[in-house]
């Protein structure tokens, strides 16, 4: 996708973090913007900011776990703007702890947002964009799914999050191949940020009642939360920088997008272990103090 001016961008998780920065870049490029989020006050603030930049904005509360709400978002986008060209399946939440200590509600919440939100976005918006392409011979589109470096690595005490993000990487690669198979005028990318200062470490603030925590957090869950907060808040690459990297990658037709390419050494080691049938290596080999910190709190 080379041209952005006048085109329509849909962004889930658009009221904060990476989503809000995607929206600001889109507004600067002259795009019309459809923002979706579960936090109404943040959504209202983001809409006001973007309209202050002169952007045309449709802001809509949407729980991406629910297919009918994602469909309503797509319908509203088409009714307001008549087409969709760029989709960011970006909404995400975080949870950690020893994998056997995560409750059924933990799994339902994290997989509901991180995976089912992307599934709904892909199945609904890809078909919609293909229909738009039938009506416009010059149509060009792109879908960006937000995964994580946790979709390529498996750090301990992050199992539920790791599983959700590995699935997003797989879904995104499958989407890329399927679009290529039918010569669709639609590109696909998967964004794998590492530790970037966003609100994901506090995502429990928007955890719905139907998947609420019934018991107090375990020692491992508290330790994982503390580690995530420290790592995210100390991140040196900003969400605004990642947003610009992402738009550059969309323009270049680049599939894999990394905020911290230096972390790929760990990915290469993991893949080498898989190919040579070695047991999984220690993801904290280069930072043993992190492992010891986790152990000390269990």
Q: Which residues pair with 243 in a beta bridge?
A: none
Helices (H), 53-199: 67-81, 104-110, 117-135, 159-181
For the chain, how are helix, strand and coil distributed in percent, rounded to 5? 55, 15, 30
Rounded Cα gap, residues 151 and 170, in angstroms:
9
Q: Which of 161, 176, 194, 258 is catalytic?
A: 161
Catalytic annotation present for 161: yes
**Dihedral sign computed on CA atoms, order 226, 169, 283, 161:** positive
CA distance 83 to 259: 30
Residues 88 and 144 sit within 8 Å (Cβ to Cβ): yes
Residues designated as active site:
161
């Amino acid at each position: 996708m080379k041209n952005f001016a006048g085109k329509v961008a849909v962004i889930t998780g658009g009221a904060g973090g990476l989503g809000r920065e995607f929206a600001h870049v889109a507004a600067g490029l002259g795009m019309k913007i459809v923002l979706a989020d579960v936090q109404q006050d943040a959504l209202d603030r983001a809409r006001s900011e973007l309209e202050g930049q002169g952007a045309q904005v449709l802001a809509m509360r949407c729980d991406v776990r629910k297919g009918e709400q994602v469909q309503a978002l797509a319908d509203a986008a088409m009714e307001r703007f008549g087409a969709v060209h760029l989709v960011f399946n970006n909404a995400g939440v975080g949870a950690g702890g020893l994998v056997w200590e995560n409750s059924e509600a933990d799994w339902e919440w994290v997989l509901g947002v991180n995976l089912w939100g992307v599934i709904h976005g892909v199945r609904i918006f890809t078909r919609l964009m293909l229909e738009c392409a039938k009506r416009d011979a010059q149509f060009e589109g792109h879908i960006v799914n937000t995964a994580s470096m946790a979709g390529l690595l498996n750090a301990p005490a992050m199992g539920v999050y790791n599983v959700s993000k590995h699935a997003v990487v797989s879904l995104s690669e499958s989407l890329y191949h399927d679009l290529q198979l039918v010569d669709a005028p639609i590109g696909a990318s998967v964004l794998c940020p590492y530790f970037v200062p966003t609100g994901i470490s506090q995502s429990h603030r928007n955890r719905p009642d139907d998947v609420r925590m019934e018991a107090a957090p375990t020692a491992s869950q508290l330790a994982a939360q503390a580690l995530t907060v420290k790592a995210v808040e100390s991140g040196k690459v900003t969400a605004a920088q990642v947003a610009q990297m992402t738009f550059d990658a969309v323009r270049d037709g680049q599939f894999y997008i990394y905020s911290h390419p230096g972390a790929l050494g760990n990915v290469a080691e993991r893949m080498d272990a898989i190919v040579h049938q070695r047991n999984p290596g220690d993801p904290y080999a280069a930072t043993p103090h992190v492992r010891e910190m986790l152990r000390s709190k269990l």
